[in-house]
């Protein structure tokens, strides 16, 4: 996301957590509807209700009191032709119409649903997440390689890491409204699971994996570059060299041979409108502070404020 100058004064590239370890996947047959209309491979009632093609294709609910553990709506008739459905809306936001909607439905299944419903014959989205992660890295890498032929390997690597980090993907997931489509266990859902950045980012990767299986490289490339259009435009205009955090780190290492540290000092607001306040410190001394709708945005704002306080000769 590209923030406005008067808001957080930075380009927002939210982030993938370190480690990347994944739990062992469980492999089950995906619920889907056969040519005859009969359900195939459905082993549990809860899963059938949650993942039925009829329920996910219902138009958005208007009743305020719909239960959160039935995000896709009750089973019912598929709407008449021409009527917008929830799945249609999601596909429009992604920019891809699935030939096999079962792939998109699978991408919405969080592993916590299987933990609470072990008898359900359905696969979680973790395998799709694994695939989507690889596809995302490959497409972003190729795009940067082709668009910046004179860039160094280090620059390309750093920019790619900014584009594929989990917080960036979580923002893209929110823009598509993925949280409301997730099928998850009640325990995780009760802990604000639909708004957790880690869950949203991984779900977006699962969707990318589903897009790749459904439409191949061209479809995945189209969806990814469309979703990242703001970030890619910011890179084209500014480049990584003008990233405040990178500039501040260069300045601090040259001036004090120290690395700036960012500390979240305040976090407030509801889950969908969080505001973070961050201070940046070097050797225990606070150089600046900033606020933004994500930690990354607040860090960028803090770095920019710190740069303003440095003498001109200290700037790289």
Angle made by CA atoms 173, 61, 57, in degrees to the nearest 5 = 70
Gap between the Cα atoms of 135 and 140, Å rounded: 8
Query: How many other CB atoms are found less than 10 A from the CB of residue 251?
Result: 21
Q: Is 140 left (phi over 0), alpha (psi -120 to 50) or beta?
A: alpha
* Residue 243, CA distances (Å) to 10, 39, 162, 230, 297 in order: 8, 52, 11, 15, 11
β-strands 275-282, 32-33: how paired? unpaired
* Catalytic residue (choose from 167, 205, 214, 304): 205
* Catalytic residue (choose from 57, 133, 243, 299): 133
Say if CB 26 and CB 124 are below 8 A apart.
yes
54 assigned to active site: no
133 assigned to active site: yes
The catalytic residue positions are: 133, 205
């Amino acid at each position: 996301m590209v923030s406005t100058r008067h808001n957080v004064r930075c380009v927002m590239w939210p982030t993938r957590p370190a480690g990347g370890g994944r739990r062992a996947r469980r492999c089950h047959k995906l619920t889907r509807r056969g040519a005859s209309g009969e359900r195939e491979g459905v082993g549990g009632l809860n899963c059938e209700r949650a993942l039925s093609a009829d329920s996910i294709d219902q138009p958005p609910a208007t009743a305020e009191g719909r239960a959160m553990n039935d995000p896709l709506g009750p089973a019912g008739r598929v709407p008449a032709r021409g009527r917008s459905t929830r799945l249609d809306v999601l596909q429009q936001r992604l920019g891809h119409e699935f030939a096999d909607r079962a792939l998109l439905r699978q991408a919405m299944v969080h592993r916590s649903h299987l933990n609470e419903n072990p008898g359900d014959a359905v696969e979680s989205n973790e395998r799709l997440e694994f695939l989507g992660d690889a596809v995302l890295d490959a497409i972003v890498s190729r795009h940067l390689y082709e668009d910046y032929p004179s860039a160094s390997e280090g620059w390309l690597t750093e920019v790619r890491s900014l584009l594929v980090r989990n917080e960036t993907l979580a923002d893209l997931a929110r823009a598509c409204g993925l949280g409301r489509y997730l099928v998850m266990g009640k325990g995780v859902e009760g802990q604000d699971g639909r708004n957790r950045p880690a869950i949203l980012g991984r779900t977006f990767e699962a969707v990318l994996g589903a897009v790749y299986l459904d439409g191949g490289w061209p479809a995945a490339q189209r969806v990814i570059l469309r979703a990242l259009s703001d970030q890619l435009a910011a890179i084209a205009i500014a480049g990584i060299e003008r990233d405040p955090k990178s500039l501040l780190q260069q300045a601090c290492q040259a001036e004090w041979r120290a690395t700036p540290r960012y500390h979240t000092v305040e976090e407030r607001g509801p889950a969908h409108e969080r505001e973070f306040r961050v201070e940046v410190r070097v050797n225990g001394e606070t150089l600046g502070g900033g606020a933004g709708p994500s930690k990354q945005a607040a860090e960028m704002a803090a770095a920019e404020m710190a740069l303003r306080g440095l003498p001109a000769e200290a700037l790289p």
